[in-house]
Structure 1
Amino acid sequence: MTKLIAFLAAALLSVTAFAGDKDKKDHSMKSSAATFDSLDKNGDAQLSKTEAAADKSLADSFASADTNGDGYLSKTEFTARTKS
């Protein structure tokens, strides 16, 4: 009986931990979108190098995040960078 209770407790903790990870990921994606929008000063749905310069980490990784090489970061490129 004690082993069953221990097993159930471990299972519940695992489910709770997994649910917590999902919430963190969702929050991170929402934060990323908010950051993108706050950096996009002219509202053209893309970030120029000048706009990205407001975030040192983004400015440092701009070239590698600009996967299509057009000199701008789309929201998709920005989000892909923040997922890594």
Structure 2
Amino acid sequence: PRPQSPILADRPCPTTNNSCLPIMTNPKSKMRRAVVSIDGMTCHACVNNIQDTVGSKDGIQKIVVSLEQKQGTVDYSTEKWTGET
């Protein structure tokens, strides 16, 4: 859902979490990959902003955002990041 804050209302935001899959074949791995749909991106500055903001969170190993596909792929550690802010 879109943020209710008027400051954030025009910024791109995730719309759905398409998957949350283990990255490695080891079932005990604490690494996961989430593919998230993102609506509202209009340029590569949006992509860079999302990658910089999410990529700076503790536990985020890698983030790749695609303007063309309107989605982001995030590799993260479940020990450090739970998906909350």
Question: So what's the TM-score if we normalise by structure 2?
Answer: 0.26
Q: Pick the structure with more strand per residue.
A: 2
Question: So what's the TM-score if we normalise by structure 1?
Answer: 0.27
Q: Pick the structure with more helix per residue.
A: 1
